[in-house]
Structure formats: C-alpha cells, structure tokens
A and B are shown apart, each in its own frame.
Chain A
Amino acid sequence: MRVLESAVVKKAAGSLATLVGVAIFVFFMLRAIPGDAISASLGTEAAGLTEVQRKSLEEYYGLDQSLASQFFSWVGNLFQGNLGFSVRAQQSVLDLTAAALPVTFQLAVFAIILALAIGVPVGMLAASRVGKPRDVIGQALSLIGLSVPAFLLATTLLTFLAVNLGFNPNGLGYKTFFEDPVVNLQQMLLPSLVLGFGISAPIIRTTRAAVLDVSGQDFVRTAKAKGVSTRRLQFKHILRNALIPIVTMTGLQFGYLLGGAVVVEQIFSLPGVGRQVLTGIQQKEYALVQSTVLVIAAAFVIVNLLTDLLYRAIDPRVRAE
C-alpha cells in the first residue's frame, strides 16, 4: 500500500505541474490572438473611440494592466476560488462554469454508457470468432465509427429528424434534468448517440484485442482444458482480465469528451463548456476562456488520475509491485 500511496502522490504532483503549464500556455496563447475584447464587441465602430474612451474601455475590460500583473492576479484569484468575471454575461466565470460543466459531464457520461453498451458486446462477439462474419461486421462497425465525423452524423440526424419527423427537443431551449427530466433526456439523446457511436469504435477495438490477448494466455487454456463452459469462461475469466485496457481506454475517451464535444454542443445547442470556450475565443473574453480551459484540463487530469487508480485496483500485477 505504501508503494501505491507514494505513486499516487507522485502522479498528483505531476498533474499539478501539468496544470500550471496549461495555465501559462493558455494565458499567453489567448493574448496572441489578434484583437481584444474592445474590437470584438465594437467591431469597426471601435474606430470612432477617442483616446479617453478607449482608456476607459481598457479599464472596463481589465486590459490596462501589464501582462505579468494580469497573469498573477488571475492565478492569485484562482487560489481563492475566483475564476474571474465575464463582462459580457455580467456573471462570474465560476457561476457560468458551474452551469456549463454539468451539461458536458452528463453528455459525456451518457455517451460513454452508450459506447460501452455497443462496444464491449460487439468487441467480445468479434473476438469470439476471429475472421468470421461476426468479426468482420464488428470490425466494420468500428471502422465506420472511427471514420464518420461527428458533425456529419449530427447534422444529418438533426436535419432529418427535426424536419421530417418534427422531433427537435433541442429547439426548446436547454432544460436541466431537475427542471424537466423528460425534455432533458430527449435533448441528450441525439448528441450522446452521436458521440457514443464515435467512441464505441475504440472500445470495440480495445475489447477485441484485449479478449484475444487474454484468450491466448495459459490460464484460459487450462480452464478450457478443464471443461469450463464457454459462456462462463467468456464472462468470468476473460472479460474480467480484459477489463484493464477497456477501463484505460474508457477513461481516456471520457477525458477527451469533456473538452471535445464542442461541435456536437454547437449543433445541438447544448450550453456546455466546449461551447463556452468557443464563444469566449470569438469574443476575446480572456478570463472566461483561460479559466474554463483550466477547468477542463483539471477535469481531464483528475479523470486520468482516477483511471490510473482504478487500473491499479483491478490489475493484480500492479498491486503486487
């Protein structure tokens, strides 16, 4: 256990360093984008500003400070739980993120559940008869999942369902699960289908490879020789041992989903964190973008850390180390 603890502490320290790097990186990269909040909100009207007006606006948007002082006041505030303020929304970034993160989180969880529900059975079926039709179908399914862009699938679904069947829950305006569970679930249906289908592909592949890998190992051969039934063998022995790479892949995909659902959030009008970053970049809302990106990165790092822990808990070899 001591070994495990020290490994976890080391990992956590590394994660913290990564987040510091992300903070520095996002801060300076954002400011390298041409234009600022003034020109983003006024457009060419900004040409009419007098010197005094421009100064006053720079103060308003917090652009009058030096880069270093902007950076340190941001980081300083972060430690006090203050993620900054969105001038546009007249709301703290913390409040905005607290509203947006659950949307993306719910979407990611649903997508992962769907992906596992598709991916694990298909992967196992494929592995059970290598080279046979079910394997070919499984592999083809994963190939399509890998190759169809999410935005293509999302656009097609939205257009045809909304126009031909009049099914467009996402046009109702977003409702949280607590406000209206039925509408909320309907709104999550199509986007999580789109994302879940895409993620089922790597899950199929990982499951198939892991099951084949495990099947070839000695203990399975022994069990087979002992006359353990195929079904029992599949579920009890093989799947359990094949779980490790599947868990790892699931964790990785979940981490990516937290920031990678931008396009789907945009098409289905879901107010998640990805869209928050996208509009923030367009509006040059520095505080909003840098804090949200940091939150996404932190979530990613935490998910990875948890995956790592889970992995250690499942894998007997790592535990024994």
Chain B
Amino acid sequence: MTQLNRQSASPIKALALASAAAMVLVGCAAADEEQETVAPTASETQEPAAVGGNMVVGITVDPDTIFPWKATQFQAFRMLENVYDTLTAFDADLNVVPGLAESWEISADGTSITFDLRDGVTFADGSSFGSEDVKYSYEAIQDEENAAVARSTLGGVTSIETPDADTVVLNLATADVGLLANLTSVNLAIVSSDDTEESLSTATNGTGPFVLESRTAGQNVVLARNSSYWGNPTPLDTLEFRVLPDEAAIAAAMSAGNVQMAVFSDPITARTVSGGVTVNTTPQLSYHALMLNARNGSMTSTDVRLAISCAIDRQSVLDTALLGEGEVTGPITSPAFKSDPNARPCPERDLAKSAEYLAASGNAGGLEIDAIVAQDLYAGAVDIAQAVAAQLAEANITLNLEVLESGTYIDRWIAGDFETAIALNGGRPDPDGMYGRYFPSTGNLNQVSGYSSDSMDKLFADGKVEGDPAARKAIYDAVSKELEDNAVWVWLFSGYTYTATSDTITGFTPMTTGSWQYLRTTGLQ
C-alpha cells in the first residue's frame, strides 16, 4: 500500500512537511506499517472499534443519485459502495477478492466464468438474494435503454445462465481477464429482481453493510447499519454524509469536532484542520495528461507529437502546478501493471531532441497549437496548462490556451473537437478497464483518444485473453511502449487525495481508487 500516514498535530509543522511529502513518499511506503507501531499516535488506533456511534463525513455536494447503475459522481459512488454489493470486490491492495460470489471458476478457454454465490444473503427488504438477481441486474445493465454507465463492461457477455439459485455462469464472446476486476464497480451492483430503476431512485435495497435512512437535498444523506448484512456488522449505528458546500467550512467543522472525516482536494486545506486529526495522502489512479488528437491538424505528425513530449519536464510541471503533490507517471497507473515513468523517447526533458523532431516534421521555424482547458471541472487545470505552455514556449512551440467553461469543455472533449487537451482522466485497477475504451479502434472513446493502430488492436485483444499475469504484464508494457514511442498523448502525473480522519475513528483505510469501502469497518471510540 503506497500511502503516507502522518499525524498533523500542528498545521504549521504539517505544512513544513508538505514539501517533503512527494520525495519521501516511496521510501515511506515500505516503512508505513512500522511507523504505525513505532510512533505513538495521539489515540490508541490499534484498539478494536467500539460498536455504536454516529459518524459524520463532510462532503461539498450531495450525491446526485442513489441509483447505483447511473452513479458517476464521486459522492454518490462512495456512498453507494456501502449500500450495494458486487459479485467481486477489491481488498486494500486492489486484489480481486470474493464479494457476493464466494468463489469462481474460469473455463479453460476463458470464455465462461462460473460463480458460486454466497449463501444466506438477503436484501435489506428481507427478500433473499440468488442467481436470478444477478441475471436480472446484468441483463438490465446490458440493455441500452437503461443507459447504465457500465454497459460496456458487460459488452463481451453473450449470455447469463442460472443453473441453480446459487450459481451464475457468464458466457463470453472471448476471454476477458480483466472482467473480474471490472465487476467490482458499484455501477455493476446487484439489485433485487423485484426492484426497478424507479423504485431504487427513492429508496435503496441492497445487500451491503448500510441502508439508506434519509436523504435531504442540499443537507445530508444518512445511512444506518443493515442488521441483516451477511458480513461482519458495521461498528457504526449511522453514517451521515453531511453537505457543507465549502471545503473551508468542512475544515472548520472538523476543527470544531462536528465532522469526523473528509476528503480534501488540496493539501493545505487538509492541514489547516486543527485538533486530533490524521491526514492520509493517497496517490490516485487518475492521471493528468496533455491529450494530443492525432487525427487533428498538426498533431497528425508523430514528429510533432514527439517534439512536444520531449519538450516537457513533467516533474517541473508537477512542482509548479500542484506544488509537487503527486508523482510523474507513464500511461498505465494500475498498480500491478504500472508503466515505467521514464521509459520514453526522451526520459529527461531534451530541447535539442525536441528541436530535431520539430525540424523533421517540417516546422523548424516553430509551431502554434491550440489546447482546450477546463476552467472549473477540477482543481489545477489552468495551472498545469500554464506550466506546460511555458515549457513548450522554450521549445519554439506556442500553446494557445482555450480556457473553457466546464459544459463547453465536456462537449468538445466528447466530440474529440480539439487539437490538444489538458485533461484529468480516471484510472482503473485493470489496464484493459482503463484504456480498453480509448485505444483499440473499436473502443467507445477511440474518437476522443485520436489514435489507433493495428498493433494496438492486437495488443488489447491479446491482453483480454492472456491468463498468465507475467505475460499479461508484458502485453501492457508493450501497449505503454507504443503509446510513449508515438507520443500518443503526453502523460504527466497522478495527484494525491488527502483524507482527513479524526483520531476518534478507527478501522478506516483510504484506497488509491478513492473508494470509501472501508467505512464498513470504521468505528468511533
């Protein structure tokens, strides 16, 4: 677990540590467990959580839906993960572990997966869970009319069989090794076959550790312990997601002890929280990139793209725009498949080489390109754009920034209507889940990625069916290499999130996926 655990007793001291955070991150990760035991913490974090209590998590906007198949918003997603279950799940290290399926067996050719479902599971309304619920849920997700966001995950599933109430068989068109990991998303939550989107839009009915107790628009969402949960009952009686629209207000509420946990987008806010609070810095799978649309304008030239790639010092952009709070990354951020961040035609910034590429592309005299930048979609976009533009300017490349309102930016991004785009894209634990939609020519985001090739199509097809982990890693290394060698995009870095937890809570582990699934083991002292 790459995670930095730090007591922040004094905000000023914490700030002094902040600049060192990025450098010591890797080194600290291994020593993390020792640190827990060696350094005495303000409260006894090792003590098992007492049962009972009401915990408050501060959020800036309320969850926009309580229907799991349509949830994309961070807050909705994080809340629903604690209400609904999926067939498979992740542990803290992103290994696939049993969820509602206790075990599974993959056929020799990989085209059929047989899940043995957990016994004695019931939905919150008391009805029992069985294979027909899985079939119902997955078929409904596959139905285009339902506009479920994870439909493409089940795109390769040709049929779903239910030999008995405890067994589900997914038949696939071709093997799909990443499927088990991709099934962990709450967008593929299993709901009761008696429920519909309509019934689940006003009340929840899941198999998870919590049930929805109340929801007040603009104010809060309250979850209560699901007493019939199949796993260990959650220590908390209730879990409230309280809306405090301003991060500073959340920090103030935490200092005053009204809120026990919150995620902050910038380290400074997190560290202004006073009192007994721990700030966990968690690297994210999502990544910042300068997307180059290889089908548009001068970006069609590989030399131009390489010239851009060679002219950018990723670490320096990170230092300026995000105060060094993050780590330089290659294309794949999935922990088990991580790309080597330095495996690039220019591992270091190389202006001479950039100039060579630029000359080779016939633009020796310089080049002017456009970039779209989102104004208020996520923090830091404009800062990153500026830092990138400043570096490209030294390579005789003028980057014209079009800073757009988020609605306009999204429209143009979706249409692939840009030469280059400063973007923050989501990552996934499985590389096929992460890029299988972008780079194969059949991917539903290929239009946006602006790049495809026969070799890329073949690599992704192979990666889907390769069962041997080492061989699969080699395939995605090759994907990574092709992406970097052709400077398909310029991958910059991944940021961190800052989870502030009051020292009165125990048993919570933040995850690189941003998940709050460990709220189910969280207790108050």
- Interface stretch (choices B19-27, B403-411, B452-460): B403-411
A268 touches B249 (CB 8 A): yes
Tell whether A43 is near chain B: CB-to-CB under 8 Å.
yes
Tell whether A223 is near chain B: CB-to-CB under 8 Å.
no
B145 touches A162 (CB 8 A): no
Q: Which residues of B contact A50 (CB under 8 A)?
A: 144, 151, 444
Contact with A along B205-224 (1 / 0, CB 8 A): 00000000001111110000
B248 touches A159 (CB 8 A): yes
A52 touches B145 (CB 8 A): yes
B255 touches A163 (CB 8 A): yes
Q: Which residues of B contact A279 (CB under 8 A)?
A: 61, 218, 245
Within 8 A of A (CB), among B193-243: 201-202, 215-220, 240, 242-243
Q: Which residues of A contact B423 (CB under 8 A)?
A: 44
Within 8 A of B (CB), among A18-59: 33-36, 39-50, 52-54, 56-57
Tell whether A235 is near chain B: CB-to-CB under 8 Å.
no
Tell whether B437 is near chain A: CB-to-CB under 8 Å.
yes
Q: Which of A35, A47, A52, A171 contacts B406 (CB 8 A)?
A: A35
Report the bound CA distance from A43 to B282 in whole Å: 23
Report the bound CA distance from A42 to B145 in whole Å: 17
Given contacts A44-B425, A47-B448, A267-B246, contact A159 B414 (CB under 8 A): no
Tell whether A283 is near chain B: CB-to-CB under 8 Å.
yes
Tell whether B259 is near chain A: CB-to-CB under 8 Å.
yes
A40 touches B217 (CB 8 A): no
Task: Give the nearest-CB partner of A265 in chain B.
Answer: B245
A109 to chain B, nearest CB (A): 21
Task: Give the nearest-CB partner of A96 in chain B.
Answer: B217
Q: Which of B151, B202, B259, B272 contacts A90 (CB 8 A)?
A: B202
Tell whether A91 is near chain B: CB-to-CB under 8 Å.
yes
Tell whether A200 is near chain B: CB-to-CB under 8 Å.
no
Tell whether B10 is near chain A: CB-to-CB under 8 Å.
no
A55 to chain B, nearest CB (A): 9
Tell whether A170 is near chain B: CB-to-CB under 8 Å.
yes
A171 touches B240 (CB 8 A): no
Tell whether A177 is near chain B: CB-to-CB under 8 Å.
no
Contact with A along B36-67 (1 / 0, CB 8 A): 00000000000000000000100001101110
A48 touches B219 (CB 8 A): no
B255 touches A166 (CB 8 A): yes
B411 touches A35 (CB 8 A): yes
Tell whether A3 is near chain B: CB-to-CB under 8 Å.
no
Tell whether B107 is near chain A: CB-to-CB under 8 Å.
no
A47 touches B445 (CB 8 A): yes
Task: Give the nearest-CB partner of A160 in chain B.
Answer: B252
Q: Which residues of B contact A266 (CB under 8 A)?
A: 245-246
Given contacts A43-B377, A48-B152, contact A162 B252 (CB under 8 A): yes
Task: Give the nearest-CB partner of B150 in chain A.
Answer: A48
Report the bound CA distance from A91 to B62 in whole Å: 14
Q: Which A-B residue pairs are the 9 nearest by beta carbons?
A: A35-B407, A171-B253, A162-B252, A34-B407, A171-B258, A89-B217, A168-B256, A52-B144, A47-B414
Q: Can you report 28 residue pairs joining A to B where beta carbons are below 8 Å apart?
A: A34-B405, A34-B407, A34-B408, A34-B411, A39-B411, A42-B72, A44-B410, A47-B414, A47-B444, A48-B437, A56-B147, A86-B217, A89-B215, A91-B217, A96-B218, A163-B274, A166-B256, A168-B256, A171-B256, A171-B258, A173-B220, A173-B240, A173-B258, A268-B249, A269-B243, A269-B244, A279-B61, A284-B407
Residues of A near any B CB (own CB < 8 A): 33-36, 39-50, 52-54, 56-57, 60, 86, 88-91, 96, 99-100, 155, 158-159, 162-163, 166-168, 170-174, 266-269, 271, 275-276, 279, 283-284
> 13 other contacts beyond A90-B202, A155-B248, A171-B253, with CB at 8 A cut-off?
A35-B405, A41-B65, A45-B72, A54-B147, A56-B147, A88-B64, A89-B62, A158-B249, A162-B253, A173-B220, A269-B249, A279-B245, A284-B407
